[in-house]
Structure 1
């Protein structure tokens, strides 16, 4: 191994490296959805356009190609890290389910404590659901509720206050985590949030150390705290998971890098040519670390956010409140899609130029022709987004800052 550079890691190089490792440098056109997700990490999926935008930015993949991969079970939405829903490649199904298994168990424990739900009744409901699906095939929740009859019950006003109106979601969550059922998009799309459930026989196996190895292959350099955010692990579990890994600390930082990547990192030269990409605010380039300031220049971090009330700055937020424009790892603007005008509305932090205009035009055309909208999450809508779009339009009149690089 080459001797590590003892000087502190420069932020522009780190940003460019993160973008390079996240395949946001234009070097992987035509890769399959599974190849992208295997190399760059699981894509957070909340019923919005994020998976489509991320796969389009990284490999030029259109919606039909992504939907075909979902239909063929080459990639699939599953409850994974922290129990949150991600789009995973088939090779990671067992691991994703294993590391996410604690979330539905926690929900059942809370329902037992506050709503009088017993494990026995939920296990009986799970059995009724699996028997029903084996007989009638993929079914929507309303059909499952009708089919299992009294095995599912209302949790009354107390349940509604806690977001649990019936016992059915508790059973569905457990069955998904056990790999016994899976959600099937009703129209094959990831951004519509309408599902049926089908029987499944997916093994559930994987360790915390296995997730740690995956994570640092996607996100390095990253800190222990970054890994704990992504995994949801306790400090003790995270420490044990990192133990088997050969990690090197970058000088002047708390960031860790697999030793096998150190030579490549030190030899890496940040590109001088810009390569802007338009991404969802929950894209992995941010959400793997959930450390927004690392992607912002100090002048941009100090900008007042046009979206958030109270005069807070961009850098003070835990997550972007909009979609983002990225160039060599730096956030250089924000954007949303206006469905009425079928246009991307944006605020730039840098001067407009041909590569940036081209990236905006390509993404705008992709959304207009293949998606119809670029929702941030399942409850996002053109109506709810209107004030945000108006604020971005108003803020764009303030002018950009200096170019990256």
Structure 2
């Protein structure tokens, strides 16, 4: 199968060939996948590129719990639609915070009894309303133990984050963004009285199967290794998760697998003849579901991307055309515009899409950080390189 057709099918499955302005934030995430959240612009760009949604509508959806940032696959945080809250929480269990708890118990003298006591007191403290970590720590006093230099070396300074993480994955509390914005990492914690997890009937193995079904529906053809990287499961568990799906290879010699109905759709699919440019985040699902940039590049562009950052993750946001990676971009808040470079000859459609995205960022966001520690100052070398081509 020609790579152009496969890439365009991936883009279609990701909602990047048509911008459907009738879709709600919840529906976009149900159809195209959870939006990776690392304190950057990713969730906003995910919803803007696919449905033209801007910050006011997205923030309302967050406030109304139609979508929410939760610990999810392999313990990482994603913005998830309400219909998947319980699945995301179940798939987060055993990763991330659980590993930190085991480290603290093994190396820092933390006990289950200590964490259980602190957890009960956290829930009591939140009974009167949401609190940020500083206020929680003040309220809890000596119940929060400083883990000293050894804890700092292992990335766990006190016992409070251990308990907050465990209570989140258990669905007992939820972390809500202060100010309602998804592109920062300032949070308060609240009791989750109507958490969906107690009513969720799937055990861990069944949840893995459902996650695999979601993944291949969002991604289109992908390899077992792609699913394994997304889910955090081992080889044996990944094979068990996909076994009930009846996946079929795209061709006899391809590692890419697809749901049977997707294979029929792929064969009948006709890519657009003219470019369909989109400016997406560096953690967009088109890139992140596979983390295999070589599949999205023309062969001539592979050496260029290898030089600037390798073929797994990009150093800057991406410009794509019908699923093909054709350029990179950064927002320059000093000039209030986008610095960009393309691997193809720029045309009027590309310039228009750059300006459309820049206008949204100027009006609604003010910046487009890749992640929480990204800043205009740290971005200057990348901006200069992009302007230099």
- Pick the TM interval, shorter chain: over 0.9
5 Å-filtered alignment, 1:63-142, equals 63-103=55-95, 104-134=97-127, 136-142=128-134
| Matched residue SS, 2:369 | coil
CA distance in 2 between partners of 1:318 and 1:90 (Å): 30
> For residue 278 of structure 2, what is the aligned residue in structure 1?
277
Aligned match of 1:212: 212
- Distance in 2, matches of 1:41 and 1:77, equals 13
Equivalent position to 1:367, from 329, 341, 361: 361
Q: Distance in 1 between matches of 2:324 and 2:308?
A: 13
Is contact 1:333-1:349 (8 Å) kept?
A: yes
The Cα of 1:370 is off from its aligned counterpart by 0.4
Query: Residues of 1 paired with 2:98 and 2:264: CA distance?
Result: 42
The CA deviation string for residues 269-321 of structure 1, in whole angstroms up to 9 with x for no partner, is: 01101110001111000101111111111111111x5xxxxxx5258331011
Higher alpha-carbon deviation: 359-368 or 235-244? 235-244
Task: State the TM-score, normalizing by the size of structure 2.
Answer: 0.95
Q: 2:18 touches 2:50 (CA, 8 Å); kept in 1?
A: yes
Q: Is the 8 A contact 1:301 1:315 kept in 2?
A: no
Q: State the partner residue of 1:23.
A: 15
Matched, 1:300 2:301: yes
Count of residues paired in the alignment: 379
Unaligned ranges ≥5, structure 2: none
How far, CA to CA, are the matches of 1:221 and 1:282 in structure 2? 19
1:133-282 correspondence to structure 2 within 5 Å: 133-134=126-127, 136-201=128-193, 202-204=195-197, 205=200, 206=202, 207-251=207-251, 252-282=253-283
CA contact (8 A) 1:138 1:199 kept: yes
Name the CA distance, whole Å, in 2 between partners of 1:315 and 1:299: 16
Q: Report the secondary structure of 2:387's partner residue.
A: helix
Equivalent pair of 1:332/1:348 in contact (CA under 8 Å)? yes
Other structure's SS at 2:179 match: coil
CA RMSD of aligned residues (A): 1.1
Question: Can you list the C-alpha shifts for 1:22-68, whole angstroms capped at 9, x where unaligned?
Answer: 00012522311100000000000000001101110000001100000
Deviations 1:293-350 (A, max 9, x none): 11111111111x5xxxxxx525833101100000000011000011100010001111
1:291-330 to 2 correspondence within 5 Å? 291-303=292-304, 312-313=306-307, 316-330=310-324
Deviations 1:101-133 (A, max 9, x none): 112222111111111111111111111000110
